[in-house]
Amino acid sequence: MPEIHVKVGSSVGLHARPASQFVKAATATGSDVRIGRPGSDLVDARSMLSVLGLAIGHGEEVVLRTDGDGAGDALTELSRMLESDLDA
């Protein structure tokens, strides 16, 4: 299961619109995608409530883990998305 550590670039963190955009992209990959803080349990990145429940702020480091067909490509796409300011 490929994994990467990423710093969140959105100025408001993963709240409201950025979280919604990320969850939609995670769902569209067709892969099992998990997200969370390093050293903590990861949650389903395809669940809006789970992602919002993490309360990830701007500049925080998160772990992304994917599994399934195209997991590596999904990881690359989603990590780039998280590093950008989705609220700009």
Catalytic positions: 15
Residue 34's DSSP bridge partners are: 44, 65
Q: Are 72 and 78 in contact (CB under 8 A)?
A: no
The type of residue at 24 is: K
DSSP assignment of 43-82? EETT-HHHHHHH-PPTT-EEEEEEESTTHHHHHHHHHHHH
